[in-house]
Structure 1
Amino acid sequence: MVLLLFVDLDPQLAALGPLGGFFVLRTGVPPRGPLPTLAQAYTASRFDTHKEVYADPITFRIHKVTQSIHAPEPRIAVSVAHQALAARLWSVALGAAALYGRLPDLDPRLLHWDPDGSAPDDLWLSEVRPLPATAIGEVVRAGHLAPLAAVLRSRYRISAGLLWGNAGSALAGAVRQLDRWAQANGRTEVGDRARTLAADLFAHPDLSNTLDPTTLRRRSCCLYYRLPGGGLCGDCCFTRPPEH
């Protein structure tokens, strides 16, 4: 068992900065002004008629990604947008847990999201409240990924297996980045903590069958190969792009 050392979270979560942009979590008030919370994003109606640009953050984001990657069908953009947000959430939480031995409370009501932004300016935490590192599953998987999957599946033709596959792939990617950073900076204990926490997370039924335990290749496809010029991801379940 890896010992988790408890270190106070600093108000700016500054230790996350050196890990890379996906691990950074801004705190305080965004300079652009108020942003919707992820709680609002998970519950907003797609038929909301308010004129605010972010009245429905999920639809806004999917539309933006569709245009950006020239997706020929909506579910490809849904998958790409979903995996990016899952990667941000896992990276922030696992990075903090591995470095600090604690993680900030990422309650969707505290975590503000700019659906028009990119990492690290897409997420802002209004209040830094420490939680034990062992809470990471409830915080990310139950608090974010489950309601995010529910709203996406209610609106788009997208499978639960694909979305949880994205979540598993994103978690494995966060572990790999943390391990690389730990090795490069002589902080091998950080990589050990990340792997220990991830092993517990992958034991949950939602994630346990998402990756091959030996190769860490996905057991579902994220659909990236369907993009114009798209190829296979490094952990793709396919060895060559399928015929359309």
Structure 2
Amino acid sequence: MVAGGRGAADDVTTDEIEAALRDVARLGGFFALDTVRGPAPGEGRLTPEGFEALARTVNERYGTAEARIGVSVAHLGLAARLWSPVLACALVHGVVPVMDTVEWAGDGSALRLAGPRGRRVARPIAASADAVAEQADGVLQRVESRLPAKVAPRLLAGNSASALVGSAAQLLRSRPGLRGPLTELTGALLETGRLRGTGRITGPGLTFRRRSCCLYYRVPGGSTCGDCCLIR
């Protein structure tokens, strides 16, 4: 059940949630979330083994043996893949996909949702912050319970906040008419649970300054990201 204790009257049909996800996938990139009706035979959910393989690929790509770098960068990418479709469905279609059956779509980082279902969001939109956060950051935290390397909890929370605001900024560029409710919901989400205190929005384009670092600057030839706390 989506956080907030709402009943079956708030459920949406599989057809409706699939249509919403197909629509927001047109925004591109991390907004794409495929669906499959029913659990895929032989496939796991967001398994620790799948995440460990992603983190290892990151380390190989950037030529670093520091395990926590691969974990952090892979975690940031996963956060973006969770936040983007959830946020877009909530703002564009007024529904939240229930993400407890999200799973790896193959050997890469893409995801899909098995047995898709969803719930309607509350109005005003900020009242849905807990429900939206549960279906993105809540899923992310369950993955974090079995990471292959130790990473500071505030770094992980900062990654989630960074992915949230990055997804919101991309949605704003694609759908500028959503500025009001999008800004309202993003602000409410940054005050929800562990995201509180992770950073602040710094401009009308939803630029962001986080209070932790994702560690990308530590890869050979790496640099700071646009929202990094290390930027002066």
Q: Provide TM-score, normalisation by structure 2.
A: 0.80
Alpha-carbon separation, structure 2, partners of 1:115 and 1:218 = 31
Question: Residue 51 of structure 2 contacts residue 74 of structure 2 at CA under 8 Å; is this kept in 1?
Answer: no
Q: Which residue of 1 aligns with 2:32?
A: 24
**RMSD of aligned residue pairs (Cα, Å):** 2.4
Query: Match for residue 217 of structure 2?
Result: 225
Counterpart selection for 2:18 from 4, 11, 14: 11
Give yes or no for contact 1:15–1:99 (8 Å, CA) kept in 2: no
Structure 2 residues not aligned, in runs of 5+: 1-11, 122-127
TM-score, structure 1 normalization: 0.76
Structure ranking higher in strand proportion: 2
1:151 and 2:142 aligned:
no
Letter in 2 for 1:22: F
Within 2, Cα distance between the matches of 1:193 and 1:212? 18
**2:8 is matched with which residue?**
none
Letter in 1 for 2:161: G
One-letter amino acid of the structure 2 residue matched with residue 17 of structure 1: A
> Does structure 1 retain, via aligned residues, the 8 Å contact 2:102–2:111?
yes
- Counterpart contact for 2:17–2:117, Cα < 8 Å: no
1:164·1:210 contact (CA, 8 Å) conserved in 2?
yes
Look up the match of 2:114. Answer: 126
The corresponding residue for 2:53 is: 60
1:206 maps to which residue? 194
Aligned twin of 2:7: none
Q: Which shifted more, 77-86 or 58-67?
A: 58-67
SS in 2 for 1:235: coil
**2:97 aligned to which of 104, 111, 124:** 104
Measured in 1, the distance between the counterparts of 2:186 and 2:112 equals 24
Instruction: Tell me, in whole angstroms, the C-alpha distance in 1 between the residues paired with 2:52 and 2:74.
Output: 11
Q: SS in structure 1 opposite 2:200?
A: coil
Number of residue pairs matched by the alignment? 206
Letter in 2 for 1:78: V
